[in-house]
């Protein structure tokens, strides 16, 4: 997930999504959930990766590339979408929305009337094909292609958004594709439809679009549905699609994907929103703890590790807080369970990166990076200008002691993972980027507005 609109443009969460996280020692922030495949950490099963924090601990992608160097393959993706790619073994999965009757790659849409003058919007201009693409990881060739649905979206979206913004998620046995108001679809790994759900039509603030992704937790898949007309969180049986519980939420539109954490051997599902941050029992939907919420238009997803969790947002204000999950029960607002707060330079669209006890996050959608000690909130550096980037919707990712930050202008800056700001490389591709990267093995997968790139040393 994860696109967002800049400045005064309250934004649609065109890039969000996050999945599977479990707190362990700060040196290794998260672990695969119970029942996950032994090689789970060698996959990228959701847009924030195997640890749900942007880190691929076993990956070693290139440090330098351009259109002529270290591009293993580049494949045009039909239609449009900001859903981040996910990777399982030898396959790469991508979601897209294609105007019906249009040629592949011709994703132009008709402009829409803006609820606020000056904010660019777009109409679907008719029906869209909501598709799941499965590509061969070796060469980018198409393995299979499935149209999950063909219908006209009921609402416009921000010009920077898309109708395929929530990222897919997999447990290695099934693939879950979420197109928001256009349905949740469960497929097997060969593209065979297993079940689907219509959750209704979201009434998103200012028609800025949708973007939250579902999360897997044990035997269930959980969707957070925050909008302007009856918000809720719901759990389905991941095998059958049967609804297990549905809990109303007193929230307006948010785009943040929930986070699954382990607390004392039991899972919780943390949601970040404007009115309140809440943690739910995935077995029943009961609220375990809650506290005061974030600033408006919450898009960044929470991260967790070492028994702590961090939530942040940055539209019309700045909010970041750290929660001690061992102390969190009931209403923890202003309680000792909140270890520290930070009130400056927090992100609007991009989610934070939690890497070996260090938090990295952008200021708004700008090219300014902050680095804090996660446990204490100590600031290593703040709002550091990143030369070369122009606008950032993508969430930063990390591997092999490096931090990768991709701008909308096609530039990725690679930093050394350390308390001081040190640039290792600056790389440029001929595309624009809103989706977050996936890191697996020796490869990085970058989904641009036109093409999907596999970056690997030749």
- Assign residue 315 the CATH number of its domain: 2.130.10.10
Instruction: Say what the alpha-carbon torsion angle 257, 263, 266, 271 is, to the nearest 10 degrees.
Output: -20
Distance CA 95, CA 114 (A): 26
**What pLDDT is stored for residue 124 in this prediction?**
85
Give a yes or no: residue 90 inside a domain: yes
Would you call 181 helix, strand, or coil by DSSP?
Answer: helix
What is the spatial order of strands in the sheet that 243-249 belongs to?
215-217, 220-225, 231-237, 243-249
Q: What percent of the chain has pLDDT over 90?
A: 84
> Average pLDDT of 176-203?
98
Distance CA 401, CA 46 (A): 21
CB 248 within 8 Å of CB 231: yes
CB 35 within 8 Å of CB 218: yes
Confidence of residue 427 (pLDDT cuts 50, 70, 90): very high
> Is residue 408 over pLDDT 80?
yes
Give a yes or no: residue 410 inside a domain: yes
> Average pLDDT of 270-297?
97
Listed residue (221, 207, 205, 295) closest to 258, CA to CA = 221
Give a yes or no: residue 124 inside a domain: yes
What is the spatial order of strands in the sheet that 91-99 belongs to?
86-88, 91-99, 128-136, 142-151
Q: Within a 10 A sphere around the Cβ of 41, how many other Cβ atoms?
A: 22
Distance CA 333, CA 247 (A): 21
**What pLDDT is stored for residue 111 in this prediction?**
63
Confidence of residue 81 (pLDDT cuts 50, 70, 90): very high
**What pLDDT is stored for residue 9 in this prediction?**
32
Confidence of residue 121 (pLDDT cuts 50, 70, 90): confident
> Is residue 217 over pLDDT 90?
yes
Give a yes or no: residue 316 inside a domain: yes
- pTM beyond 0.75: the answer is yes
User: In 363-453, where does DSSP find H-type helix?
Assistant: none
CB 346 within 8 Å of CB 302: no
Instruction: Look at 396 and 120; give whichever has higher pLDDT.
Output: 396
> Average pLDDT of 225-254?
97
- Overall residue count recorded for the chain in this entry: 458
* pLDDT tens-digit series, residues 318-335: 999 999 999 999 999 999
Give a yes or no: residue 402 inside a domain: yes
Confidence of residue 6 (pLDDT cuts 50, 70, 90): very low
DSSP at 20: -
* pLDDT tens-digit series, residues 21-58: 222 233 334 444 433 455 778 999 998 999 999 999 99
Distance CA 28, CA 23 (A): 9
Give a yes or no: residue 213 inside a domain: yes
Kind of pairing between the strands at 91-99 and 443-447: unpaired
Confidence of residue 298 (pLDDT cuts 50, 70, 90): very high
Residue 78 CA neighbour count, 13 Å, CB half: 20
**What pLDDT is stored for residue 108 in this prediction?**
45
Give a yes or no: residue 14 inside a domain: no
Task: Please give the residue range of the domain that contains residue 55.
Answer: 26-455
Kindly list the distances between the CA atom of residue 223 and the CA atoms of 233, 235, 295, 419, in Å, as whole numbers in the listed order: 6, 7, 22, 36
Q: Within a 10 A sphere around the Cβ of 412, how many other Cβ atoms?
A: 25
Q: What percent of the chain has pLDDT over 70?
A: 88
Give a yes or no: residue 101 inside a domain: yes
Number of structural domains found in the chain: 1
* pLDDT tens-digit series, residues 347-393: 999 999 999 999 999 999 999 999 999 999 999 999 999 999 999 99
Kindly list the distances between the CA atom of residue 158 and the CA atoms of 12, 74, 264, in Å, as whole numbers in the listed order: 6, 27, 42
Listed residue (306, 257, 278) closest to 30, CA to CA = 306
């Amino acid at each position: 997930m994860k696109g967002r609109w800049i400045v005064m443009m309250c934004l649609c969460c065109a890039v969000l999504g996050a999945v599977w996280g479990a707190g362990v020692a700060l040196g290794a922030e998260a672990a695969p959930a119970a029942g996950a495949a032994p090689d789970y950490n060698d996959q990228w099963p959701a847009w924030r990766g195997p640890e749900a924090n942007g880190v691929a601990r076993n990956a070693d992608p290139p440090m330098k590339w351009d259109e002529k160097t270290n591009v293993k393959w580049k494949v045009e993706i039909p239609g449009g979408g900001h859903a981040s790619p996910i990777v399982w073994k030898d396959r790469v999965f991508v979601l897209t929305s294609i105007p019906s009757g249009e040629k592949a790659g011709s994703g132009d849409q008709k402009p829409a009337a803006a609820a606020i003058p000056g904010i660019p919007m777009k109409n679907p201009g008719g029906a869209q094909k909501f598709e799941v693409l499965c590509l061969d990881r070796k060469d980018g060739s198409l393995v299979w292609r499935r149209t999950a649905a063909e219908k006209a979206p009921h609402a416009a979206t921000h010009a920077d958004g898309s109708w395929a913004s929530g990222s897919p998620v997999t447990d290695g046995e099934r693939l879950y594709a979420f197109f928001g108001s256009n349905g949740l679809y469960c497929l097997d790994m060969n593209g065979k439809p297993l079940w689907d759900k219509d959750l209704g039509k979201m009434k998103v603030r200012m028609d800025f679009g949708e973007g939250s992704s579902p999360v897997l937790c044990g035997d269930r898949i959980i969707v957070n549905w925050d909008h302007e007309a009856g918000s809720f969180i719901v759990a389905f049986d991941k095998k059958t699609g049967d609804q297990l519980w549905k809990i109303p939420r007193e929230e307006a539109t948010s785009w943040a994907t929930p986070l699954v954490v382990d607390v004392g051997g039991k899972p919780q599902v943390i949601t970040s929103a404007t009115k309140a941050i809440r943690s739910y029992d995935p077995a029943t939907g009961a609220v375990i703890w809650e506290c005061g919420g974030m600033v408006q238009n919450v898009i960044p997803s929470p991260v967790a590790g070492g028994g702590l969790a961090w939530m942040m947002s940055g539209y019309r204000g700045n909010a970041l807080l750290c929660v001690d999950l061992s102390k969190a029960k009931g209403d923890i607002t202003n309680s000792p369970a909140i270890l520290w707060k930070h009130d400056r330079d927090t992100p609007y669209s991009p989610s934070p990166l939690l890497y070996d006890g260090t938090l990295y996050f952008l200021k708004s959608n700008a090219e300014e990076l902050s680095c804090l000690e996660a446990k204490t909130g100590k600031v290593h550096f703040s709002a550091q200008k990143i030369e070369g980037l122009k606008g950032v919707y993508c969430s930063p990712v990390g591997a092999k002691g490096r931090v990768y930050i991709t701008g909308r202008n096609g530039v990725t800056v690679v930093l050394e993972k350390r308390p001081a700001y040190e640039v290792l490389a600056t790389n440029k591709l001929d595309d624009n980027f809103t989706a977050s990267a996936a890191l697996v093995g020796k490869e990085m997968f970058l989904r641009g507005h036109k093409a999907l790139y596999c970056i690997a040393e030749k």
